Structure 1
Amino acid sequence: MSYAPESTVARPLLALTTPNHPGPRRRGNRRARVILFVGLGVFTVLLGGMYFGPSAGLPIPERFAPYYAQPHTGSGAAHPQPPPGAAKPAPNPNEFPTAADVAASAEKVTAGADAAIDILLASQPSSLPSARSRYSLRTGRNPPRGFDAFYAFAKERGCLVEGYTAVERDFAPFWRAEKTRKGWFRERVRVMEGKLVNDAHGVAALAIRDGKVQRPENGATYFDGDWENTINKFASSLPSLTVLINGRDEPRVVFDVAGLFDDPPTQPPAPTDPNPFALSPPSTGAFFADPVRKDVCRPARGVGVLEDVPFLLSASSAEFTTDLVPVLSMAKTVDASTTVDATAAGMGGGGGSCFADVLVPGEFYYRNSWWAGKFDYPNNIKWEDKKPVLYWRGESNGGHIRGTIYKTFPRFRLIDLAALPENQGFLDVRMTGWHESHCTDDCDAEPIKKAYNISGKVVPREDAYKYKYLLDVDGNTFSGRYLGLLRSGGLVFKSTAFTEFFTPWLVPFEHFIPVRPDLSDLMAKIAWARANDAEARRIQEAGRVFAERILTDAQNDCYWFAVMLEWGALWGE
């Protein structure tokens, strides 16, 4: 992996925290400290917007305001429109950039994206005592056993030492429950482990003993072996414990944690689910909307109404438990505490706390993993040579199809959008594969495949390089291709009802363009990107550089380590 060179502005910042980095270290670094202070301030504001309350998120940047609320006219013209009859200015030949101008502009954009990452890295604790004290300040607890080893592990691999507020947020309900009765966490894990012996339901119970991970006798998931390899990199720094890991793409723990944060804290209920992780309602829409059941939370309406999210409306795969169970998962439905003014930004929100899963990086996001969607060769098309069209190829996987319910699924909505005459020339999207298993009861496959021209023809992933705009859209849950798209050289438009481990780090309108789950604002945002090419390019490059420099395989390992530290602290000695 090759990184762009550091910007000259950022070198003094790295010199403050990197012992062998060239540059001022003791004298003449007042200016660098000022820059660092300002950078920390900006970074703090960004994180503050992400984590503190549904109304504390960042507003939509002013530059987006004219485009966000206006519907797309289909004309291809930029919004806002000039008044009728207004004369068009004569073209100025000097306005067209030369090849040298284009190259210089691209270099400047990349340097700006790199400088932002340099500031982020320079804001990390520069010593172990600093890292320990800052952990205690955030959590009110002493650092857990193994924290010193985590610091060394992260420093050696160039990972973030802090910035794991999402980890602390995910474990907060379990710390709250542990506060009501010491030993609750370990007891609950052991109860669930016992219930999963005969049928694991896609949940692996991994035991760590004497610094090594012991593989369970019953193969529980597709990822058996992968997780053990990751955790064994730092297992020697963990206490003996048992960890539950969900091998499905979907979140599994349907439990509203809001009551645990009452004052005084509510005692967590005793387990009542006789067969945990086996609850598969015929209709998840009816399950979540059932007014009678008291053990089912109500999903946050901010992620789109129930009918906008296939996983909530008609999940193709859903095996839940309604007990509060600590389990590590790859995704859960979006929550206001994980997004930046999520409703306004088009990424859901609304204060939901319906799923209590703890997030970890999935194998789909390890570049060296068999599961990762890889490009055979790097992007070889310059930005200015790419088509100003939004590109997507994917399969029909979304919810379970019954009758005409599929028309509400985002992937089918996307194809319907592209078929509208007013949207011609804006979208190049096709459904390339059909999931038979999603079409059983009350589902006639052939007419649907014919109507949506689902041929089964696979196209090279590298075709995406030809386009400026790329779409990441949910199937039944997350697509798993997001980070690859960010690295590919296109501006990513992301439509999702889910949050993943990296969600708090990637900022809407700064690293990608958020799109509502029902795609109702997609056309307006494509029109904005066309009318604001330089800004679109800047966002694209910021997302690419962040994915290349921060969201690495090593960073995934560090995230797992941070999660396992918290698990070990709750487990106890």
Structure 2
Amino acid sequence: MLRLLTTFSSRTGRVALLAIFFILSLTWMLLSPSHDNPGLPTYSARYGHNSPHPIDSLIQTAENDLQDLLETEAHDLQDAADKYRARRGRHPPPGFAEWYKFAKSKDSLIVEEFFDQIYTDLTPYWALEPKELRRLARSIPTRILVRNKTAIMKTDEPRSWMDSWYDLVSKLEDGLPDLDMPINVMDETRLVVPWETITEYMQKEKVNRVMPSPSHVKSEYMSLNDWDGEDVEPYNPGFTVPGEGGYWEMARVGCPPGSPARNTNLPMVDFNEPPWEYGNFERLSYHGYVSNFSLAKDPCVRPEMQVLHGTFLEPVSVSTSHNLMPLFGGSKLPMNNEILLPPAMYWAQNDHYSGGEQEHGGPWESKTNKAVWRGAATGGRAREPNWTGFQRHRFMAMMNATAVAQAEKNQGHGINFRLPNYADYKLKDDGSVPQLLADHTDTGFNHLVCHPYIESDPRCPYLDPYFEVAPGMAMKTMYDFKYLPDLDGNSFSGRYRGFMLSTSLPIKATIYNEWHDSRLIPWVHFVPMDTTYLDIYGILAYFLGGRDDTARKIALAGKSWGEKVLRREDMQIYTYRLLLEYARICDDQREFLGYVDDLKAA
């Protein structure tokens, strides 16, 4: 099975992946030929009118991946425990049987790979002593505790997202051991441990990993009641703000030493000139399209993101530590070290982020044949002149027919974007792309988020010449459109789950990781898009140029799949298992804690 590559060191696998795609692109012709709509950009007949488009090959390979994934489903407790041991090299944690029963009662698919993020996040913590982990956990004022099967929230001030996470944990409290769970309540991530340190910790965990005989295994977690009464020395996490070089310099220490992010220093950017390094995506892509979503969104292999994304240009707030400590959050960059939870926005049942839990949009055939996006010009502190590097501003400009028409006359450059090479995407340079945008997009900012920020004023003097403020649009209204681009803001997009569960087609661009990433397969459940957005015109031309049935298929497949793996029940199941594992790592007897009832019965 072609598995997603997640680190720069997987370059060999990347070459193999491209070779397979190349073979597929020459031999596979399962999808029906396109029927070009008049006036739309079309894929050239260079391969012949009946030859496959590169996206055809990406879809076919992704469908094979999904089939392989489904074949790994566990169908009973014994099977689930066996698959756990085979993949993790340990016994499952105590409470695993109760967790499995809970998951099955929610009609869940039990696929071990769905929980890989838990082990990516938690493995380094095995290198720290349990008592030290418990001490570190006390250093964050925003925490959720579990004591004697009761969840308790501690916070320095009222915080709505803390309320949502507390609600999630409290619904699981009957099955949870004692634990202290620090929460990151900022939009931005807070931990970047140097790659060398994390590698040392990972190696230590691997060397010390054991699977004791069933007779030596303990099934009871420790109580923290006595620990609560101990006088524990306070811990200073060492949170700091960026120095010279901004957040990029703080973040790239989490990348491998041989990665482009560690080896590449971009020259000082003149934001008065259109940047920037776009060739990296062209080299990583498959004929201009995302073939490996994990690789494409990894800043460690995309050093150009330091001038193409607000997270690195000027985040709204930064408070970062280079020390490893327990800290849970809703999203993170690939080089960050937080422990991922389902985001509070997804759990909160807030119509602003979901459109309503029961509102998913009408039949595909009744939808407007356009791509729609509305939102604020967030992504960080976009000031004059650095706003030209921000991702949302770039996307809005690239979706503007007039701006693109002007860029076509200006050597392919707009004020804050560069057009792709149309020949690479087999697009026509006869005005078809601006016409496509005029006819098939409805995008705009409903607030320009000027700095200094005035909530009541959606305008901004230095942005007004380039962007008009558009009327807002409720999520449930967006579902009346077929195509839903989804972009990073200050961190991840809180609308993504709602988009996935809709009957519309999400087109997703991000550099952030979330809890559900291993559950979703690009090109089967959603359409991946690069954060440069060089591929957006090709994507739109592909689907609007006679492949409406393919768009509908992915949209409905994503919705159907989301109703199996992205439900509120699935967030509970993920969190339940995560906290069993986390509590084990913080337990003084952790090496001997486990579930082995199935082995004793055998």
Assess same fold via TM > 0.5. Answer: yes
Give 2:173's match in structure 1, choosing from 235, 253, 266. 235
SS at 2:323 equivalent = coil
After superposing the two structures, state which structure 1 stretch, 229-238 or 369-378, moved more.
369-378
After superposing the two structures, state which structure 1 stretch, 560-569 or 51-60, moved more.
51-60
SS at 2:189 equivalent = coil
Distance across 2 between alignment mates of 1:385 and 1:570? 52
**Following superposition, which runs of at least 4 residues in structure 1 exceed 6 angstroms of deviation?**
62-66, 113-122, 290-297
Distance across 2 between alignment mates of 1:511 and 1:429? 23
For residues 59-111 of structure 1, give each alpha carbon's deviation from its aligned partner in whole angstroms, at most 9, with x where no partner exists: 59679969xxxxxxx9622112579xx9x99xxxxxxxxxxxxxxxxxxxxxx
Tell whether the 8 Å contact from 2:123 to 2:202 is kept in structure 1 after alignment. no
Residue 562 to residue 304, structure 1, CA distance change in 2 (3 Å): farther
Residue 65 to residue 478, structure 1, CA distance change in 2 (3 Å): farther
The corresponding residue for 2:446 is 432
Distance across 1 between alignment mates of 2:451 and 2:571? 32
Q: Any residues of structure 2 matched to 1:138-217 within 5 Å, and which?
A: 138-161=87-110, 162=112, 163-175=114-126, 177-178=127-128, 184-194=129-139, 196=140, 200=141, 204-216=142-154
The corresponding residue for 1:501 is 515
Q: Which amino acid aligns with 1:460?
A: A
Q: Percent of aligned positions with the same letter in both sequences?
A: 23
Tell whether the 8 Å contact from 1:157 to 1:554 is kept in structure 2 after alignment. yes
Give 1:247's match in structure 2, choosing from 150, 166, 185. 185
Tell whether the 8 Å contact from 1:394 to 1:433 is kept in structure 2 after alignment. yes
Give 1:185 deviation, angstroms.
4.1
The corresponding residue for 2:286 is none
Q: Any residues of structure 2 matched to 1:93-104 within 5 Å, and which?
A: none
The corresponding residue for 2:502 is 488
SS at 1:389 equivalent = strand
The corresponding residue for 1:331 is 331
Give 2:160's match in structure 1, choosing from 211, 215, 222. 222
Does residue 124 of structure 1 match 2:105? no
Give 1:155 deviation, angstroms.
0.9
SS at 2:462 equivalent = helix
Give 1:568 deviation, angstroms.
0.8
The corresponding residue for 1:279 is 240
The corresponding residue for 2:305 is 305
Residue 138 to residue 187, structure 1, CA distance change in 2 (3 Å): same
Tell whether the 8 Å contact from 2:373 to 2:484 is kept in structure 1 after alignment. yes
Distance across 1 between alignment mates of 2:540 and 2:371? 7
Distance across 2 between alignment mates of 1:167 and 1:323? 19
The corresponding residue for 2:598 is none
Distance across 1 between alignment mates of 2:193 and 2:95? 30
Q: Which amino acid aligns with 1:319?
A: S
Q: Which amino acid aligns with 2:40?
A: G
Residue 308 to residue 291, structure 1, CA distance change in 2 (3 Å): closer
After superposing the two structures, state which structure 1 stretch, 303-312 or 372-381, moved more.
372-381
Residue 189 to residue 518, structure 1, CA distance change in 2 (3 Å): farther
The corresponding residue for 1:19 is none
Q: Which amino acid aligns with 1:310?
A: G
Tell whether the 8 Å contact from 1:395 to 1:434 is kept in structure 2 after alignment. yes
Give 1:252 deviation, angstroms.
1.1
Tell whether the 8 Å contact from 1:222 to 1:247 is kept in structure 2 after alignment. no
Distance across 1 between alignment mates of 2:90 and 2:357? 46
Distance across 2 between alignment mates of 1:291 and 1:263? 19
Distance across 2 between alignment mates of 1:290 and 1:554? 37
Does residue 319 of structure 1 match 2:319? yes
Give 1:118 deviation, angstroms.
10
Tell whether the 8 Å contact from 1:189 to 1:242 is kept in structure 2 after alignment. yes
Does residue 360 of structure 1 match 2:371? no
Residue 145 to residue 503, structure 1, CA distance change in 2 (3 Å): same
For residues 206-248 of structure 1, give each alpha carbon's deviation from its aligned partner in whole angstroms, at most 9, with x where no partner exists: 2211111122263364323322222223333333221112122
The corresponding residue for 2:524 is 510
The corresponding residue for 1:477 is 491
For residues 375-420 of structure 1, give each alpha carbon's deviation from its aligned partner in whole angstroms, at most 9, with x where no partner exists: 4874554323434322111111112123221112121112211232
**CA RMSD for the aligned pairs?**
3.9
Residue 189 to residue 562, structure 1, CA distance change in 2 (3 Å): same
Where does the alignment leave 5 or more consecutive residues of structure 1 unmatched?
1-44, 67-73, 90-112, 179-183, 268-272, 336-353
SS at 1:504 equivalent = helix
Give 1:54 deviation, angstroms.
2.9
Give 1:292 deviation, angstroms.
12
Distance across 2 between alignment mates of 1:166 and 1:509? 21
The corresponding residue for 1:539 is 554
Give 1:469 deviation, angstroms.
1.3
Distance across 1 between alignment mates of 2:548 and 2:309? 31
After superposing the two structures, state which structure 1 stretch, 499-508 or 286-295, moved more.
286-295
The corresponding residue for 1:31 is none
SS at 1:453 equivalent = coil
Does residue 404 of structure 1 match 2:350? no
Tell whether the 8 Å contact from 2:354 to 2:499 is kept in structure 1 after alignment. no
Where does the alignment leave 5 or more consecutive residues of structure 2 unmatched?
27-37, 51-61, 206-233, 263-298, 406-432, 589-602
Distance across 2 between alignment mates of 1:295 and 1:541? 37
Tell whether the 8 Å contact from 2:313 to 2:389 is kept in structure 1 after alignment. no
Tell whether the 8 Å contact from 1:491 to 1:540 is kept in structure 2 after alignment. yes
TM-score normalised by the chain length of structure 2: 0.67
Give 1:173 deviation, angstroms.
1.6
Tell whether the 8 Å contact from 1:189 to 1:243 is kept in structure 2 after alignment. no
Distance across 2 between alignment mates of 1:64 and 1:313? 39
